[in-house]
Amino acid sequence: MSIKSVCVFCGSNYGLGTAFKEQAALLGTTLAQRGIELIYGGAHIGLMGAVADGALKAGGRVVGVLPRFLEEKELAHNGLSELILVDTMHQRKTIMNERCDAVITLPGGFGTMDELFEMLTWAQLGLHKKPIGVLNVNGYYDSLIFLTENMVAKGFIQPIHHESLIISADIDTLLGQMNDYKAPEMSAIITADET
């Protein structure tokens, strides 16, 4: 598939050490250099700010989607190509999904996990066919890999749905795998236990 826009989910702080911030900025730069529009949460802080700044410095187009209550806390990034203000967190996720061809998740906390798992759930239900990538910086998502593999092993996720989660520690490799992604046919049965 041809990816023209990527939604990036990530933390509103930097985490410990410099690797997370560096990889976030590099991802933004890489997307811009490839002519891929960045869609993200609209804030200037943490990894969110780093990925946006990386893309902007490389001449990329960056769209932020920010709830108004966060704008009131002066968290909005003022240098974006476009800033969309919404009323709720759910509206934020909906618009980000509507505007992107693919999703990449960087390290983050509860909010980032919520965003990732909602996109995975929507894919499982056939609501979209977008590739969902996870950039596993410094092994941050090793435990998630173990958890999701255990979900398959214990019969709570079908293997075909687990395959919609694309994970790599390298940006170029991740983007390559996402470009090659083909969504599973919805003939796979979704059981009540999976939702």
Let me know if residue 164 belongs to a domain: yes
Q: What's this model's pTM, rounded to 2 decimal places?
A: 0.91
| CATH number (domain holding residue 81) | 3.40.50.450
User: In total, how many domains does the chain have?
Assistant: 1
Let me know if residue 90 belongs to a domain: yes
Let me know if residue 151 belongs to a domain: yes
Let me know if residue 193 belongs to a domain: no
Let me know if residue 191 belongs to a domain: no
Domain that holds residue 26: 5-181
Sign of CA dihedral 84, 128, 115, 31: negative
pLDDT in tens, the chain (195 residues): 689 999 999 999 999 999 999 999 999 999 999 999 999 999 999 999 999 999 999 999 999 999 998 877 778 899 999 999 999 999 999 999 999 999 999 999 999 999 999 999 999 888 899 999 999 999 999 999 999 999 999 999 888 888 889 999 999 999 999 999 988 776 544 555 555
User: Tokens at residue 63, please?
Assistant: 């769209």
Which position has the token pair 């997307």? 31
DSSP assignments along the chain, one per residue: ----EEEEE--SS--SSSHHHHHHHHHHHHHHHTTPEEEE--BSSHHHHHHHHHHHHTT--EEEEEEHHHHTTT-B-TT-SEEEEESSHHHHHHHHHHH-SEEEE-S--HHHHHHHHHHHHHHHTTS----EEEE-GGGTTHHHHHHHHHHHHTTSS-HHHHTTEEEESSHHHHHHHHHT--PPPTTSPPPGGG-
Let me know if residue 195 belongs to a domain: no
